[in-house]
């Protein structure tokens, strides 16, 4: 039998990401046992019914006792309070990590509470869906996806290696990055696209009264894709924007300038500007497909959405 990477894994939060980790490591035997903590009894009961762990706690402090790896899998706005609460019970030598979509804020929130001898290594699997809650997870979520780690200067190399091995065992590739750089890159590739989707779907739903539901009736591919993204969890995404304010505002500024440029081209019927822009963006998409990072298939119709607390 293969040797577990961690003897006892504590998952704080058991929604889409936490339950996907639990499902995967249970199938692989890459950890000895799993202890789960979440905020509401209802979610905890659901996790137990799904047999996601070996023990279940409403108090995260109880869950981290004896754990050699702790992963925060709750919305990033909860991290400071959780770090403060679990700190006295953390084991010497334990790896403490997270899956949060922003990194500098997570460091600012958690680092001050991390005791000597605990290895705090922030992480972010670049894998997810618009669904949330313990029912939404699946074991292959992290396969062929990047997991970015943002270790602090002087981080213990053996601990970083062990955590990398853990994510690799779930099928991910590892990249190491500076937290600020991570936040800027993710603002462009993930956070702003979500904000745009939330915005356009809101605009369309305001118009819907005027056009008597034509917006939904004739929704073509592009708009459907936006509605999928705009169905993402409101608590999680509220926290992402509040905790990546600087990078999001920086990229939004550039985005608005570029949008104004296109707006001007439409107003003045400058077809060359529009054509050149669309030609450039099309070649970017084609480059992604040629590099094998994406298929050309539309991604409609997913399994049912689950919500928890
Ligand atoms: N949804 C996605 O596509 C991705 C999300 N992430 C990050 O993963 C984290 C979790 O996201 P999801 O699993 O999608 O969310 P989710 O909404 O599916 O699950 C969050 C879980 O945290 C629990 N929770 C909330 N407050 C808590 C607290 N104070 N103490 C303990 N548990 C608490 C909830 O009960 C729930 O079980 C977030 O930080 C998010 O930024 C990272 C990659 C992808
Ligand atoms: O479902 C989608 O389109 C996503 O973009 C998934 C996702 C959401 C948040 C992350 O931090 C990483 C990945």
CA atoms of 249 and 241, how far apart (whole Å): 9
Residue 297 within a domain: yes
Please say whether the beta carbons of 75 and 236 come within 8 A: yes
Residue 134 within a domain: yes
pLDDT above 90 covers what percent of the chain? 82
pLDDT-derived band at 240 (thresholds 50, 70, 90) equals very high
For atom 1 of ligand 1, which residue has the closest CA? Answer: 128
Residue 276 within a domain: yes
Over residues 56-85, mean pLDDT? 98
Do 193 and 258 belong to one domain? Answer: yes
Ligand 2 in reach of 229 Cβ (< 6 A): yes
Do 124 and 250 belong to one domain? Answer: no
pLDDT at 304: 35
Which range, of 70-84, 271-285, 288-302, averages the lowest pLDDT? 288-302
Number of structural domains, the chain? 2
Alpha-carbon dihedral sign for residues 220, 222, 223, 226: positive
Over residues 240-247, mean pLDDT? 98
Contacts of 86 (CB under 8 A, 6+ apart): 12, 60, 61, 63, 64, 70
Residue 1 within a domain: no
pLDDT-derived band at 1 (thresholds 50, 70, 90) equals low
Query: Which pair of tokens denotes residue 114?
Result: 């991390």
pLDDT at 309: 41
pLDDT at 3: 87
- Asked whether this complex has an ipTM greater than 0.90, the answer is yes
Do 171 and 67 belong to one domain? Answer: yes
| Residue 193 alpha carbon to ligand 2 centre in Å | 10
Do 63 and 209 belong to one domain? Answer: no
pLDDT above 70 covers what percent of the chain? 92
CA atoms of 170 and 178, how far apart (whole Å): 23
Q: How far apart are the first and last CA of the chain?
A: 38
- Reference 146, options 179, 123, 163, 122; nearest CA is 123
Query: Which pair of tokens denotes residue 131?
Result: 């669904």
Do 167 and 279 belong to one domain? Answer: no
Check whether 75 has a pLDDT greater than 80. Answer: yes
Domain with 270, as residue range(s), is 181-306
Contacts of 239 (CB under 8 A, 6+ apart): 75, 76, 77, 78
Residue 239 within a domain: yes
Check whether 199 has a pLDDT greater than 80. Answer: yes
Do 192 and 299 belong to one domain? Answer: yes
Do 72 and 96 belong to one domain? Answer: yes
Check whether 145 has a pLDDT greater than 70. Answer: yes
Output the average pLDDT for the chain: 92
Residue 287 within a domain: yes
DSSP 8-state secondary structure symbol assigned to residue 130? S
CA–centroid distance for 113 within its chain: 23
- Reference 6, options 37, 35, 33; nearest CA is 33
Q: Which of 177, 201, 218 is the last residue of a domain?
A: 177
Residue-wise pLDDT for 202-230, tens only, equals 988 887 665 566 777 777 778 888 989 99
Query: Which pair of tokens denotes residue 63?
Result: 């869950």
Please say whether the beta carbons of 78 and 104 come within 8 A: no
Ligand 1 in reach of 122 Cβ (< 6 A): no
Contacts of 306 (CB under 8 A, 6+ apart): 131, 132, 133, 134, 135, 136
Do 171 and 286 belong to one domain? Answer: no
Do 127 and 10 belong to one domain? Answer: yes
Residue-wise pLDDT for 262-291, tens only, equals 999 999 999 999 999 999 999 888 888 887
Ligand 1 in reach of 147 Cβ (< 6 A): no
pLDDT-derived band at 24 (thresholds 50, 70, 90) equals very high
Check whether 308 has a pLDDT greater than 80. Answer: no
Record the pTM: 0.93
Ligand 2 in reach of 185 Cβ (< 6 A): no
Over residues 95-100, mean pLDDT? 98
pLDDT at 137: 98
Residue 297 CB neighbour total at 10 angstroms: 6
pLDDT at 154: 96
Residue-wise pLDDT for 155-188, tens only, equals 999 999 999 999 999 999 999 999 999 999 999 9
Ligand 2 atom with the smallest distance to the CA of 240 is 11
Please say whether the beta carbons of 239 and 77 come within 8 A: yes
Q: Which of 115, 149, 177 is the last residue of a domain?
A: 177
Ligand 1 atom with the smallest distance to the CA of 129 is 3
Do 192 and 151 belong to one domain? Answer: no
Ligand 2 in reach of 75 Cβ (< 6 A): no
Do 219 and 157 belong to one domain? Answer: no
CATH number at residue 71: 3.40.50.720
Do 221 and 156 belong to one domain? Answer: no
> φ, ψ for residue 33 (rounded to 5)?
-140, 160
Q: Which of 154, 177, 200 is the last residue of a domain?
A: 177
CATH number at residue 201: 1.10.3660.10
The CA-atom distances, in angstroms, between 283 and each of 187, 286, 298 are 22, 5, 18
Ligand showing the shortest atom-to-Cα distance for residue 237: 1
């Amino acid at each position: 039998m293969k040797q577990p990477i961690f003897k006892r894994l504590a998952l704080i939060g058991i929604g889409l990401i936490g339950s996907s980790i639990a499902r995967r490591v249970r199938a692989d035997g890459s950890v000895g046992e799993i202890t789960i903590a979440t905020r509401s009894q209802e979610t905890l009961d659901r996790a137990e019914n799904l047999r996601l762990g070996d023990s279940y706690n409403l108090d995260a402090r109880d869950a981290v006792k004896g754990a050699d790896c702790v992963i925060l899998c709750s919305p990033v706005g909860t991290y400071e309070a959780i770090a403060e609460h679990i700190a006295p019970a953390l084991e010497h030598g334990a790896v403490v990590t997270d899956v949060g979509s922003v990194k500098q804020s997570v460091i600012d929130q958690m680092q001050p509470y991390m005791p000597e001898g605990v290895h705090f290594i922030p992480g972010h699997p670049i894998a997810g869906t618009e669904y949330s809650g313990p029912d939404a997870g699946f074991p292959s979520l992290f396969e062929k996806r990047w997991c970015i780690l943002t270790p602090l200067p002087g981080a213990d190399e053996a601990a970083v290696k062990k955590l990398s091995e853990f994510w690799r065992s779930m099928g991910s590739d590892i990249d190491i990055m500076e937290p600020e750089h991570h936040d800027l890159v993710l603002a462009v590739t993930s956070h702003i696209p979500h904000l745009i989707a939330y915005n356009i779907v809101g605009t369309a739903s305001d118009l819907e009264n005027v056009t008597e539901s034509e917006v939904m009736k004739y929704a073509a591919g592009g708009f459907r894709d936006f509605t999928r993204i705009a169905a993402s969890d409101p608590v999680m995404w509220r926290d992402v924007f509040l905790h990546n304010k600087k990078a999001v505002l920086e990229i939004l500024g550039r985005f608005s300038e570029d949008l104004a440029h296109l707006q001007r081209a439409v107003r003045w019927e400058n077809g060359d500007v529009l054509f050149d822009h669309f030609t450039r963006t099309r070649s970017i998409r084609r480059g992604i497909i040629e590099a094998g990072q994406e298929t050309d298939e539309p991604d409609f119709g997913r399994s049912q959405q689950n919500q928890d607390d």
